[in-house]
Amino acid sequence: MKITYTTSKTTEELTQILVLQQANLYRNVSNEEKLAEGFLTVEHSFELLKEMNDVCPHTIAIDEQGNLAGYAMSMHPSFKDKIDVLKPMFDVIDPLIATEEKYMLMGQICVSKNHRKQGAFRGLYTHMKNELKHDYDSIITEIDALNSRSMEAHKAVGFEEMVRYHANEGSNVKLGEKLYL
């Protein structure tokens, strides 16, 4: 199946991102699926998703029928106080980043179940890198250490571990990872 990569431009595309996000949130997938396919931690409102998209458009994958096959969310560091669950990540990674380094946070990546194992994950990152490489030095993301599927996939596309940390007391270990552009 042919997949096209682009950036989100319409309200309909943003709405499709939220539908795919809901289907893959940690609380909405079985334990077996979490282990085999991974999961999403952060839930976004339409308003925040649009605000983030207005600053730096999200990367999307569209299949031959025009359906959303996946997305890679762009989150400019200026949004670091907008999502409570990500605040600890910024506390940990900000001191590790050189003052002059310009980075974009990959706020979340997800491929629909029908399009997995077809190269969409790699395609989303390739497109995102090409879009950002002229304005940014790197892409940074956070991964829950329990999400082994996601950790393996990010390593396969070139992300390097920056740091391991607990986001909150009693929470799972998180990994801050960086991809140089």
Map out the domains of the chain as residue ranges.
3-180
Interval 106-121 mean pLDDT: 94
Strand order in the sheet with 103-111: 3-7, 59-63, 68-75, 103-111, 138-144, 173-180, 160-166
User: Whole-angstrom Cα distance, residue 175 to residue 164?
Assistant: 5
Lowest mean pLDDT among 35-44, 95-104, 119-128: 35-44
User: Whole-angstrom Cα distance, residue 11 to residue 47?
Assistant: 11
The domain defined by 3-180 folds into Aminopeptidase (3.40.630)
pLDDT interval class at 36 (50, 70, 90): confident
Query: Over 70: is that where the pLDDT of 138 sits?
Result: yes
| 132 three-class SS | helix
pLDDT digits (tens, 9 = 90+) for 65-95: 999 999 999 999 999 999 888 888 899 999 9
Query: Over 80: is that where the pLDDT of 15 sits?
Result: yes
Interval 156-161 mean pLDDT: 93
Provide the β-strand partners of residue 74: 106
Question: Which of 58-62, 91-95, 103-107 shows the highest mean pLDDT?
Answer: 58-62
The larger pLDDT score, comparing residue 120 to residue 169, is at 120
Cβ–Cβ < 8 Å for 59, 74: yes
User: CB-based contacts of 137: which residues, under 8 Å, 6+ apart?
Assistant: 101, 102, 103, 180, 181
* Averaged pLDDT of the chain: 92
What does the pLDDT read at residue 170?
Answer: 60
What does the pLDDT read at residue 171?
Answer: 62
CB atoms < 10 A from the CB of 166, how many? Answer: 13
Lowest mean pLDDT among 16-30, 35-49, 110-124, 165-179: 165-179
| 97 three-class SS | coil
Q: What is the pTM of this model?
A: 0.92
Query: Over 90: is that where the pLDDT of 169 sits?
Result: no
66: left (phi over 0), alpha (psi -120 to 50) or beta: left
